[in-house]
A and B are shown apart, each in its own frame.
Chain A
Amino acid sequence: MADIISLGEAISRHVNDGDCIALEGFTHLIPTAASHEIIRQGKQNLHLVRMTPDLVYDLLIGAGCARKLTFSWGGNPGVGSLHRLRDAVEKQWPNALEIDEHSHADLANAYVAGASGLPFALLRAYAGSDLPKVNPSIKFITCPFTGEKLAATPAVRPDVTVIHAQKADRKGNVLLWGILGVQKEAALAAKRCIVTVEEIVDDLNAPMNACVLPGWALSAVCHVPGGAHPSYAHGYYERDNRFYQAWDPIARDREAFSAWIDEYIRGTRDFGEFQQKIAEAK
């Protein structure tokens, strides 16, 4: 059953050093506030899983929280590189980062397998690609019925998944809509799941067949309005493209990055205070 608690308490209770953790949200509903809180609480040695590392993992990698990254596309969308990710891969700063690299189809299927309680994902993929040569976790098996060679990759089973959503009700049932990415699969693949939401309402008024995650399948629901910034929350706010652009020079330089997280993340008590500080700096 989901407890409706503060984000600080949820991270402290459910995220442990060394955990495998997935912060999902495919360009939409990216759980930025949760990544900040993980940095504030100094979580370490994490195995990060996410299709598109985006700014949330650039932050966690640069802050030294990560030991391993499982991913399938690691750029700053519409802008360029994720400099903290690149610096970790190319120059091992601030520490070496083990890379477990897949394609989108593979990783999406690996979440489906995880949510399905299966040990591996099966897909038609990678024939002729060099990725299986550099990633030992991508293997091939033969279909017992047709003899076709298919790709198999391990299911993703995070210790904890964090997603952001539009609404929860007071029992912790969660409704999300728009671009859904792999949020539902990531939530159900994990041992524990934290959801941050834009608002908590009396009644979700969800249409039949809407994407609703029942509160009993979740661990914690946290009210964090604006928690997906600079990505967007459909129906609430748009993507802050200027922030994605402004991130480039901050992340490009180690000192500028460290100063930024010291001031804006480690130097604030919570996401609300961070938002206030960012607004004042504009």
Chain B
Amino acid sequence: MMSSDYSTNEMMTVAAARRLKNGAVCFVGIGLPSKAANLARLTSSPDVVLIYESGPIGAKPSVLPLSIGDGELAETADTVVPTGEIFRYWLQGGRIDVGFLGAAQVDKYGNINTTVIGDYHNPKVRLPGAGGAPEIAGSAKEVLIILKQSHRTFVDRLAFITSVGFGEGCDHRQQLGLPGKGPVGIITDLCIMEPEAGTHEFIVTALHPGVTREQVIEHTGWAIRFAEQVIETAPPTEAELQALRALEARTAAAHGQAGGEE
């Protein structure tokens, strides 16, 4: 059963959750990625393995963590390992199927900036920095990116590349020798973008229900293009919405806030 009464943020989270296949081993960023990954675990992909950079492997939190190292992640995990080991054995060792990342800014080749707006040495806005993202972007077999779309967050050229997607496009990523395939999808509150074969430029492949091409163009900082076949994202089902809202309600009751959406 479909529901017509949902927000664009809910559509974004649901669309992102659907991309996570059951059984996949997923390295989860805090905030929106963590919300979508846990929704996947609670709906279509109960056997997804969630790994957080603080050390929990196979975390099954009942509420969304506020920080990347909340106690519940450790308590519900199959095992907890030191942070160095997470990056050395589990990520660099090649055991991560999907890296699930957020971003402050993304460009048309799926490169991510979380470091600085303006000049690095004389910044206009100093952002938190890299965290685990550069190596997740490099070594996970695939990467999914989730963030709200605006012309300020989707920019033609980043002032600073923190975590690489397809670099300058075409075969640049391959030349860099990165083991992972790179970003395979950017999921926003308006649409889904995927890399175009050959150029690796991100183009719109699905519009969420009710969203127009003009809206997407207006909210993108580069001359966004559309795939030959643009499909409409299936709206959230009752089951998806129910699971998402229950998760958010449990989180709010536990923390007094919706959970790690910095």
State the A residues within 8 Å of B (CB).
26-28, 51, 71-82, 85-86, 89-90, 101-106, 108-109, 111-112, 123-131, 134, 148-149, 178-182, 184-185, 232, 234, 238-239, 241-242, 244-245
Contacts and interface: CB of A to CB of B under 8 A. Distances in A.
Given A73-B132, A78-B260, A89-B126, 17 more contacts: A72-B131, A75-B128, A78-B66, A78-B257, A85-B126, A101-B115, A101-B130, A105-B92, A124-B92, A124-B138, A124-B179, A127-B176, A128-B164, A128-B176, A131-B134, A182-B82, A239-B66
B130 A128 contact: no
A181 B55 contact: yes
Interface string B33-56: 000000000000000000001111
B129 interface: yes
Contacts of B30: 77-78
B54 A28 contact: yes
Interface pairs A-B: 8 shortest CB-CB: A128-B164, A27-B69, A75-B128, A73-B131, A105-B87, A77-B67, A78-B66, A108-B84
A125 B134 contact: yes
Main secondary structure of the interface of B (DSSP, over half): loop
Contacts of A71: 129
A122 B50 CA distance: 26
B257 A104 contact: no
B238 interface: no
B135 A125 contact: yes
B242 interface: no
A245 B115 CA distance: 22
B23 interface: no
**Interface range on chain B (Cβ under 8 Å from partner):** 35 or more
Contacts of A239: 66-67, 70-71
A102 B11 CA distance: 34
Contacts of A102: 130
Given A72-B129, A74-B129, A180-B55, A241 B71 contact: no
B153 interface: no
Contacts of A73: 128-132
23 contacts: A27-B67, A27-B68, A73-B129, A73-B131, A74-B129, A77-B66, A78-B67, A78-B259, A90-B126, A104-B130, A104-B135, A109-B88, A125-B138, A126-B134, A128-B173, A128-B178, A129-B163, A130-B160, A134-B120, A178-B74, A180-B83, A181-B82, A182-B84
Given A78-B67, A179-B55, A241-B66, A127 B178 contact: yes
B262 interface: yes
Contacts, number: 180
A27 B92 contact: no
A179 B162 contact: no
Interface string B176-198: 11110000000000000000000
B14 interface: no
Given A178-B80, A241-B256, A242-B256, A104 B69 contact: no
Q: Which of A112, A128, A130 has the most CB of B within 10 A?
A: A128
A205 to B, nearest CB: 19
Most buried by A among B69, B88, B167, B256: B69
A234 B71 contact: yes
A101 B129 contact: yes
B262 A78 contact: yes
Contacts of A74: 126, 128-129
A249 to B, nearest CB: 16
Contact of A108 (B83, B123, B125, B163): B83
Contact of B80 (A86, A179, A242, A244): A179
Contacts of B134: 103, 105, 125-126, 129, 131
B255 interface: yes
A103 B178 contact: no
A33 B64 CA distance: 28
Interface string B58-92: 00000000111111011000001111100110011
